[in-house]
Amino acid sequence: MQPEHLDAVLAIESISFPAPWEREAFLFEILFNETADYVVALYRDQVVGYGGIWLVLDEAHITNIAVHPAFRGRGVGRQILQELIRRAARRGATKMTLEVRSSNLIAQKLYRDLGFVVKGVRKRYYQDNNEDAIIMWLENIHAQA
């Protein structure tokens, strides 16, 4: 992800999440946060999705993954996640974690399909509606990289 991608990323972010990140948060992540790694998915030079991770020691934490609604169901999210897994493995991660809304069954299926397993629940994690977060882990990142 580069600064020139941010207008499209922010548009997808605002469509996808009730509490979207702001431009300054993404700028900090891509320009200054050395533990962060963000990618975009392009279709005909148009940003159609994005995702990011933080790397801490041997763990990668998925910060966000989102796909423009017009491109959902086409494997874009899977490709983004697979690229994040590859990048995390190259940077020394051995496992990966994420939080996902309990209502986001489509995302949960994608994560399970790629080897993530449920390890816990954070009750009332999401402040916009007090929804629970499902905590998922991919224990052997190299099996998927």
Which contacts qualify for 78-84: CB closer than 8 Å, 24 or more apart?
A: 78/110, 78/113, 78/114, 79/41, 80/39, 80/41, 80/49, 80/50, 80/51, 81/51, 81/110, 81/111, 81/114, 82/114, 82/144, 83/39, 83/51, 84/37, 84/39, 84/51, 84/52, 84/53, 84/60
Catalytic member of 29, 38, 50, 111: 111
Q: pTM (2 decimals)? A: 0.92
Residue 36 — very low, low, confident or very high, per pLDDT cuts 50/70/90? very high
- pLDDT in the model for residue 145: 63
Segment 119-135 mean pLDDT: 90
Does the pLDDT of residue 144 top 80, yes or no? Answer: no
Does the pLDDT of residue 39 top 90, yes or no? Answer: yes
Q: Are 87 and 37 in contact (CB under 8 A)?
A: yes
For 62-97, what is each residue's pLDDT tens digit? 999 999 999 999 999 999 999 999 999 999 999 999
111 counts as catalytic: yes
Residue 126 — very low, low, confident or very high, per pLDDT cuts 50/70/90? confident
Does the pLDDT of residue 139 top 80, yes or no? Answer: yes
Domains and CATH numbers, the chain: 3-144 (3.40.630.30)
- pLDDT in the model for residue 21: 93
Instruction: Find the helix or strand (DSSP H, E) in which 97 lies.
Output: strand 95-101
Which candidate, 51, 19, 14, places its Cα nearest to that of 127? 19
Residue 18 — very low, low, confident or very high, per pLDDT cuts 50/70/90? confident
Token representation of residue 66? 């989102």
Catalytic member of 59, 83, 99, 131: 99
In the chain, % of residues over pLDDT 70: 99
